[in-house]
C-alpha cells in the first residue's frame, strides 16, 4: 500500500485530535487575550478523571464523558474567577508567569497524588481498527477524531448562530466596545474559560482510550498545542482545526517517511517557521504589540 | 546597595569556614549556579524585557562544550568554559537575530520550541553520547587543572565567584545608560526608536552576555555533578526555573534573581527533605502556588513585596538643590538661508486597495514652521509614519538635507532616521510609564555614533546639564523623580516634547502637539515651539487646532484623501474655498 497515503490518513486522524485539545487554548487566547501555558495540564487531569471514572467507578466511557466535561467546565470557570481575573490587563510577563505557576501546580499535584506511573484503560467498543480510505486506523483514534469533529461543529454553531456566540465574538474583537453595548464581558470571559477547559476535557477522555496518562503527559502536548494554535491563528474556531490537522500531517508524514526519531523536531521546526514567517497564523490576523 | 552586596559577598565567602554541613554547602553551590543562570536570564528577560524559555539550551551547550573539550581533547575546563561561553554567545546571536522580531508571547514560544528542538537533536546525536549522556573523566580527580575534586569547598568558591560576576554584570547594566535604554525599549520599543535608540543592537548585546553567563554556569554545573545528559542539562523545565527564579525574586533588579534562586533552591531542598515521605513533587506544587500568588498579588516579585512592607520612607526634598544655568544652552547662530531641509516627492502608501497617501509632494525649508491641516483620514499621520520609518512607503522619495549631503530616508528603520536629526512626537502620547521624568530626558541624548562602550557608562555631564535645562524649560522640575505614569496628560505631552528636544534635532515632526490639553498648556506649547524655532529648530506640525496653527506656521499644507490639495501661507489657506469645503464637509 502507498506509504504516503497511510501517513496522510493517520496524520489527519491524529491532527483532528491535536486540534481538539488545542481548541481551548486558541479560544482563551482569542477571547480573553491570555496565553494559558497550563492548558495541557487540564487535559492531563481530564485523563486522570476519566481513568478513575472508568477503572475505579466502572462507568462506561460515554457515561464518564459528560461528568468529566462538566468538571472541566467548572475547573475553567474557577480558574478564571480565582486566578485569571486578578491578572487581566496586567503585563505579558505577569500573565506568562502566572500560567506557568498554574502548570507547575497542576502537574505536580497530579505527581504527588498519583505518582509517576503510566495508566490507561481499554474501551471495548474501540478495540480493533476501521478502514479509512483503505487505510487501517485504530478505532480508538477514529472515535477521538469523530469526537473532535462533533465538538468543533457544536462550538462553531454556538459561535455563529447564537446570540451568546455573537457576544463572545464581540468580546474577542473589542472588549471595551462590547461592554459599552451591554454585553456582560465578565460572563463572556468565564464562558470562554469554561468552554476552553471543557473541550480539552473531551480531548482527554477520548485520548485515554489509546494514550496512557502520566503527570508529565502535558510535556509532549504543550508545544503541539501551541504549534496548532499559532499555525492556524487564534481568531476563529477553524484556525486551530486547520492548525491541528497541519501539525498532525507534518508529524505523521515526516515521522513515517523521513525519520520517526525526529518527528517532534519537525513539528517544532514547523512552529518556528510559522512564527518567523507569519506570526498571525495561516488564517488569523497579526496583532500589533 | 553596592556596600550591601559586598558585605553579603564577604559573608558568603566566609560561610564554609563556619558551616561544615555538606547538605547545606551542596544547596549553596546549587544556589550559586542557578543564581548565576537566573542573573544571566535577568540580563535579557529583566532588563531587556525579552522573556526567554530556552535558556536551558545555553546552559546545556555550555556544559557539553567544556565537557567535550576536557574528555576528548584534554583541554582544561578553566579554558574550556570560556570557549563554551564564546561559542554559546555566538549561537545566541544567530538565534537572536530572527527571534527578536517577535514580541510578547511569540518570543517566549519561539525560545521554548528552539530549546525542544535542540534537546531532541542532542538525544539522538551519538557524538555527544545521545540519550546516554557524558561522564566527566573522574580519573582526573583532585587535579586542579581538570576542575574536579571530591570535596565541595573548591566548587563552592568557583560557583560563588561566578555568581558574584553575574551579579556584578547586572549591577553594572542597572547603573549605566544602557540600563535606561533597555527599560525604555521594554516599555515602548517604538517610542524608544523615535529617540534614535538602536533597540536590536542592545538586545543582541544582552542576549550574548546572558548566553555567555548561562554557559559558564552550565560548565561549572557539569564539573560539579560529573555527569550530563539531555534530560538534565537541556531539560525545558530548567529554562522555566531560571525564568521563575528571576521573576519570583523581582526581575530587572540585581537582588531579585539572587533572592529568587536562594529561596526556591533552599525551599526545594528542605521541603523535599521534610515532605519526602509522601512521594516527590511537593516542592513544585508549592512553587506553583507561590508563583501564582505572587504574580497575582505583587508582580514585582519578592523584592516588590519587601518594598511594599517598608512603609516608612524618607520624603524626597523638594527639588531645590539644582540651580540650572539661567541661559539656555542653545546658541542662536545667524538665521541660515532658507535651504530645503526635508523633501518628500511623490510619496505613496497603499493599504490593500486603499490609497492612504497618493503622491504627496512636500518641502520643509530650514528654519520654517510648516503646518499640515486636513480632515480626519486625510493621511496626515500616515505621512509622518512613512517619513519617520514606522510604515514602509509604497513609492516615492524622502530626503533629508544635512551637512555632508542629502540622505535618503526611504526604507530605513526608525532609529536610523531619528539619528539623522529628525525627532517626532506621537498623536497618542507615548512616554515610558515606569521611567522618571529625568530619565526620559537622559535617554533623549544623541545616539548617533554612540558606541556600545559609551552606552556602558553613565550619562555624560553635558547631557545631565541639558536635561536640567529642559526640565526647567517645560517646568517639570518638581516632578523630576516621579514616574511618567504619575503625570497628567498635559504634563506627559510636555515631557514627550522636551524628551525629543534633548539632542537638539534640526527637524521636529509634531503630531497634534496641542490636542487634548487645556488652554494654558496650549499657550505654553506654542511658546516653546516658537522659542525653539528661534533657536534654530525647524518644525513640521500636524494640528487640528486651527488658531494654534495659524499663529505658528509660516506655511501650511492642506491634505485630503491622501493628497496635498492646497499649499501656501495661512491666510491663503483660510481663504481657499476648496480647503474649507473639504475641512467642514460643505
CA distance A51 to A121: 7
Residues 6+ positions from B15 with CB-CB distance below 8 Å: B28
pLDDT, tens digit, 9 for 90 and up, residues B63-90 = 999 998 988 888 888 998 999 999 999 9
What is the model's pLDDT at position B1?
Answer: 61
pLDDT band at B323 (very low <50, low <70, confident <90, very high): very low
Q: Cα distance from A167 to chain B (closest Cα, Å)?
A: 26
Q: Which residue of B has its CA nearest to A84?
A: B296
The residue-averaged pLDDT of B252-261 equals 88
SS3 for A211-273 is: CCECCCHHHHHHHHHHHHHHHHCCCCCHHHHHHHHHHHHHHHHHHHHCCHHHHHHHHHHHHHH
The helix/strand/coil state of B169 is helix
Chain B within 8 Å of A206 (Cβ-Cβ)?
A: no
pLDDT band at B333 (very low <50, low <70, confident <90, very high): very low
Name chain B contacts of A264, Cβ cutoff 8 Å. Answer: 116, 120
Which candidate in A25, A80, A93 is best for mutational testing of the B interface (most B CBs within 10 A)?
A: A93
Nearest to A42 by CA among A17, A79, A95: A79
Query: A96 with B51: CB under 8 angstroms?
Result: yes
Q: How far is CA B564 from CA A37, A138, B44, in A?
A: 50, 68, 46
The helix/strand/coil state of B118 is helix
Exposure letters B170-191 (e unless 16+ CB within 10 A, then b): bbebbbbbbbbbbbbbbbbbbb
> At residue A51, does pLDDT exceed 90?
yes
Nearest to A112 among B121, B281, B292 (CB): B281
The string of DSSP letters for A90-151 reads S-HHHHHHHHHHHHHHHHHHHHHHH-S--B----GGG-SEEEETTEEEEHHHHHHHHHHHHH
What is chain A's Cα-based Rg?
A: 18
pLDDT, tens digit, 9 for 90 and up, residues A80-108 = 999 998 888 777 778 888 898 899 899 98
What is chain B's Cα-based Rg?
A: 29
Query: B291 with A104: CB under 8 angstroms?
Result: yes
pLDDT band at B12 (very low <50, low <70, confident <90, very high): confident
Query: A16 with A265: CB under 8 angstroms?
Result: no
Q: Across the strands, what pairs with B401?
A: B406
More confidently predicted of B577 and B557: B557
What is the model's pLDDT at position B338?
Answer: 72
The helix/strand/coil state of B365 is strand
pLDDT, tens digit, 9 for 90 and up, residues B568-583 = 888 888 777 777 777 7
Q: Which residue of A has its CA nearest to B290?
A: A101
Q: Cα distance from A59 to chain B (closest Cα, Å)?
A: 29
What is the model's pLDDT at position B322?
Answer: 36
Q: How far is CA B560 from CA B359, B383, B569, B585, in A?
A: 12, 12, 18, 11
pLDDT band at A235 (very low <50, low <70, confident <90, very high): low
Cβ contact A268–B120 (<8 Å): yes
Cβ contact B104–A98 (<8 Å): no
Chain B within 8 Å of A81 (Cβ-Cβ)?
A: no
Q: Cα distance from B77 to chain A (closest Cα, Å)?
A: 31
| Gap between the terminal Cα atoms of chain B | 66
CA distance A164 to A11: 34
Q: Cα distance from B203 to chain A (closest Cα, Å)?
A: 17
This model of the complex carries an ipTM of 0.82
- Out of A95-99, B104-108, B248-252, least confident range: B104-108
What is the model's pLDDT at position B328?
Answer: 40
Residues 6+ positions from B399 with CB-CB distance below 8 Å: B342, B343, B344, B345, B406, B407, B408, B409
Burial of A201 per CB tally in 10 Å (0-12, 13-18, 19+): buried
Cβ contact B110–A275 (<8 Å): yes
The residue-averaged pLDDT of B12-41 equals 88
Name chain B contacts of A98, Cβ cutoff 8 Å. Answer: 291-292, 295-296
What is the model's pLDDT at position B275?
Answer: 53
Q: Which residue of B has its CA nearest to A278?
A: B102
Nearest to A198 by CA among A209, A190, A186: A190
Q: Cα distance from B289 to chain A (closest Cα, Å)?
A: 6
Average pLDDT in chain B: 84
Cβ contact B296–A268 (<8 Å): no
Residues 6+ positions from B104 with CB-CB distance below 8 Å: A92, A289
Q: Cα distance from A62 to chain B (closest Cα, Å)?
A: 32
What is the model's pLDDT at position B177?
Answer: 92
What is the model's pLDDT at position A281?
Answer: 56
Name chain B contacts of A87, Cβ cutoff 8 Å. Answer: 295-296
pLDDT, tens digit, 9 for 90 and up, residues B265-293 = 888 777 765 554 445 677 788 888 888 88
What is the model's pLDDT at position B337?
Answer: 53
pLDDT, tens digit, 9 for 90 and up, residues A16-44 = 999 999 999 988 988 888 889 999 999 99
What is the model's pLDDT at position B312?
Answer: 45
The residue-averaged pLDDT of A157-174 equals 88
pLDDT, tens digit, 9 for 90 and up, residues A185-213 = 889 999 999 999 999 999 999 999 999 99
Nearest to B196 by CA among B207, B181, B183, B211: B181
Nearest to A101 among B106, B236, B291 (CB): B291
CA distance B373 to B329: 33
Nearest to B392 by CA among B400, B401, B382: B382
What is the model's pLDDT at position B272?
Answer: 64
* Residue percentage of chain B with pLDDT more than 70: 93
- Beta-carbon contacts below 8 Å between A and B: 129
What is the model's pLDDT at position A288?
Answer: 34
pLDDT, tens digit, 9 for 90 and up, residues B35-50 = 999 999 999 888 888 8
Nearest to A111 among B120, B280, B290 (CB): B280
What is the model's pLDDT at position B280?
Answer: 64
Nearest to B234 by CA among B443, B355, B75, B67: B67
Q: Cα distance from A162 to chain B (closest Cα, Å)?
A: 31
> Which A positions 232-271 lie with beta carbon below 8 A of chain B?
261-262, 264-265, 268-269, 271
CA distance B542 to B60: 54
> At residue A67, does pLDDT exceed 90?
yes
pLDDT, tens digit, 9 for 90 and up, residues B366-394 = 989 999 988 888 888 899 999 999 998 88
Fold designation for A3-277: ABC transporter involved in vitamin B12 uptake, BtuC (1.10.3470)
CA distance B406 to B334: 22
Of A108-117, B10-19, B214-223, B550-559, which has the strongest mean pLDDT? B214-223
| pTM, full prediction | 0.85
Interface of B with A (CB under 8 A): 49, 51, 98, 101-106, 108-110, 112-114, 116-117, 120-121, 124, 236, 240, 243-244, 247, 251, 278-285, 287-292, 295-297, 299
> At residue B327, does pLDDT exceed 50?
no
User: Domain spans of chain A?
Assistant: 3-277
Q: How far is CA B241 from CA A87, B5, B108, B113, in A?
A: 21, 24, 14, 16
Name chain B contacts of A115, Cβ cutoff 8 Å. Answer: 279
What is the model's pLDDT at position B165?
Answer: 94
Amino acid at each position: 500500500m502507498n506509504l504516503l497515503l497511510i501517513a496522510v490518513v493517520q496524520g489527519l486522524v491524529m491532527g483532528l485530535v491535536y486540534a481538539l485539545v488545542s481548541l481551548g487554548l486558541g479560544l482563551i487566547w482569542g477571547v480573553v487575550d491570555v496565553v494559558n501555558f497550563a492548558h495541557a495540564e487540564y487535559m492531563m487531569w481530564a485523563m486522570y478523571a476519566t481513568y478513575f471514572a472508568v477503572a475505579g467507578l466502572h462507568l462506561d466511557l460515554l457515561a464518564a464523558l459528560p461528568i468529566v466535561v462538566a468538571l472541566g467546565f467548572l475547573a475553567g470557570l474557577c480558574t478564571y474567577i480565582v486566578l485569571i481575573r486578578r491578572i487581566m490587563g496586567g503585563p505579558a510577563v505577569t500573565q506568562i508567569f502566572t500560567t506557568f505557576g498554574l502548570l507547575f501546580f497542576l502537574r505536580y499535584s497530579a505527581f504527588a497524588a498519583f505518582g509517576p506511573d503510566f495508566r490507561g484503560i481499554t474501551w471495548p467498543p474501540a478495540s480493533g481498527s476501521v478502514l479509512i480510505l483503505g487505510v487501517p486506523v485504530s478505532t480508538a483514534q477514529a472515535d477521538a477524531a469523530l469526537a473532535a469533529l462533533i465538538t468543533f461543529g457544536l462550538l462553531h454553531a454556538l459561535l455563529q448562530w447564537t446570540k451568546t456566540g455573537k457576544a463572545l465574538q464581540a468580546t474577542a474583537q473589542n472588549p471595551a466596545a462590547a461592554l459599552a453595548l451591554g454585553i456582560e464581558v465578565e460572563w463572556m470571559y468565564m464562558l470562554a474559560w469554561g468552554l476552553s477547559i471543557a473541550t480539552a476535557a473531551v480531548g482527554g477522555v477520548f485520548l485515554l482510550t489509546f494514550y496512557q496518562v502520566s503527570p508529565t503527559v502535558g510535556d509532549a502536548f504543550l508545544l503541539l498545542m501551541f504549534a496548532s494554535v499559532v499555525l492556524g491563528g487564534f481568531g476563529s474556531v477553524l484556525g486551530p482545526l486547520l492548525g491541528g490537522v497541519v501539525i498532525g500531517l507534518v508529524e505523521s508524514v515526516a515521522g513515517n517517511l523521513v525519520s520517526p526519531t525526529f518527528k517532534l523536531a519537525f513539528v517544532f521546526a514547523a512552529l518556528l517557521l510559522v512564527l518567523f514567517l507569519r506570526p498571525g497564523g495561516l488564517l488569523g490576523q497579526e496583532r500589533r504589540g | 546597595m553596592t556596600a550591601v552586596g559586598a558585605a553579603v559577598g564577604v559573608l558568603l565567602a566566609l560561610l564554609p569556614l563556619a558551616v561544615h554541613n555538606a547538605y547545606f554547602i551542596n544547596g549553596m553551590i546549587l544556589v550559586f549556579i542557578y543564581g548565576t543562570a537566573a542573573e544571566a536570564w535577568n540580563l535579557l528577560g529583566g532588563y531587556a524585557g525579552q522573556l526567554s524559555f530556552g535558556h536551558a539550551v545555553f546552559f546545556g551547550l555550555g556544559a557539553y562544550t567544556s565537557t567535550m573539550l576536557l574528555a576528548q581533547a584534554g583541554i582544561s575546563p578553566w579554558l574550556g568554559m570560556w570557549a563554551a561561553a564564546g561559542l554559546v554567545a555566538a549561537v545566541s546571536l544567530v538565534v537572536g537575530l530572527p527571534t527578536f522580531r517577535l514580541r510578547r508571547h511569540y518570543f517566549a514560544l519561539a525560545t521554548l520550541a528552539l530549546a525542544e528542538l535542540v534537546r531532541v537533536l542532542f538525544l539522538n546525536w551519538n557524538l555527544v553520547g545521545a540519550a546516554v549522556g557524558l561522564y566527566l573523566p573522574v580519573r582526573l580527580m583532585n587535579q586542579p587543572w581538570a576542575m574536579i575534586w571530591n570535596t565541595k569547598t573548591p566548587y563552592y568558591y568557583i560557583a560563588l565567584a561566578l555568581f558574584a560576576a553575574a551579579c556584578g554584570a547586572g549591577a553594572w547594566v542597572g547603573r549605566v545608560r544602557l540600563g535606561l535604554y533597555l527599560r525604555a525599549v521594554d516599555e515602548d520599543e517604538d517610542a524608544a526608536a523615535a529617540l534614535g535608540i538602536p533597540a536590536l543592537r542592545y538586545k543582541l548585546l544582552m542576549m550574548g552576555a546572558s548566553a555567555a553567563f548561562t554557559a559558564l554556569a552550565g560548565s561549572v554545573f557539569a564539573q560539579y555533578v560529573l555527569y550530563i545528559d539531555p534530560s538534565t542539562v537541556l531539560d525545558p523545565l530548567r529554562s522555566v526555573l531560571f525564568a521563575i527564579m528571576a521573576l519570583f525574586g523581582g526581575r530587572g533588579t540585581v537582588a531579585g534573581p539572587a533572592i529568587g534562586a536562594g529561596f526556591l533552591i533552599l525551599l526545594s531542598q528542605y521541603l523535599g527533605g521534610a515532605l519526602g515521605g509522601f512521594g516527590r513533587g511537593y516542592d513544585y506544587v508549592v512553587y506553583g502556588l507561590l508563583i501564582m500568588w505572587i504574580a497575582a498579588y505583587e508582580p514585582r516579585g519578592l523584592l516588590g513585596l519587601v518594598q511594599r512592607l517598608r512603609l516608612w520612607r524618607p520624603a524626597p526634598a523638594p527639588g531645590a538643590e539644582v540651580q540650572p544655568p539661567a541661559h539656555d544652552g542653545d546658541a542662536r547662530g545667524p538665521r541660515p538661508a532658507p535651504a530645503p531641509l526635508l523633501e518628500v516627492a511623490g510619496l505613496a502608501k497603499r493599504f490593500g486597495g486603499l490609497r492612504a497617501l497618493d503622491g504627496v509632494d512636500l518641502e520643509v525649508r530650514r528654519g520654517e514652521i510648516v503646518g499640515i491641516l486636513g480632515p480626519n483620514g486625510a493621511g496626515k499621520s500616515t505621512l509622518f509614519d512613512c517619513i519617520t520609518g514606522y510604515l514602509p512607503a509604497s513609492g516615492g522619495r524622502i530626503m533629508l538635507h544635512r551637512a555632508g549631503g542629502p540622505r535618503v530616508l526611504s526604507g530605513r528603520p526608525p532609529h536610523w532616521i531619528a539619528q539623522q536629526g529628525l525627532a517626532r512626537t506621537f498623536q497618542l502620547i507615548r512616554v515610558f510609564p515606569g521611567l522618571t521624568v529625568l530619565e526620559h530626558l537622559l535617554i533623549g541624548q544623541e545616539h548617533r555614533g554612540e558606541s556600545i562602550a559609551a552606552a556602558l557608562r553613565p550619562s555624560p555631564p553635558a547631557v545631565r546639564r541639558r536635561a536640567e535645562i529642559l526640565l526647567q524649560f517645560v517646568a517639570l522640575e518638581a516632578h523630576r523623580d516621579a514616574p511618567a505614569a504619575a503625570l497628567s496628560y498635559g504634563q506627559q505631552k510636555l515631557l514627550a516634547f522636551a524628551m525629543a528636544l534633548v539632542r537638539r534635532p534640526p527637524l521636529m515632526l509634531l503630531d497634534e502637539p496641542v490636542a487634548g490639553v487645556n488652554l494654558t498648556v496650549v499657550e505654553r506649547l506654542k511658546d516653546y515651539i516658537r522659542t525653539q524655532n528661534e533657536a534654530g529648530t525647524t518644525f513640521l506640525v500636524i494640528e487640528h487646532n486651527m488658531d494654534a496653527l495659524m499663529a505658528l506656521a509660516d506655511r501650511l499644507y492642506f491634505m485630503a484623501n491622501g493628497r496635498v490639495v492646497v499649499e501656501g501661507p495661512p491666510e491663503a489657506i483660510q481663504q481657499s474655498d476648496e480647503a474649507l469645503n473639504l475641512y467642514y464637509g460643505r
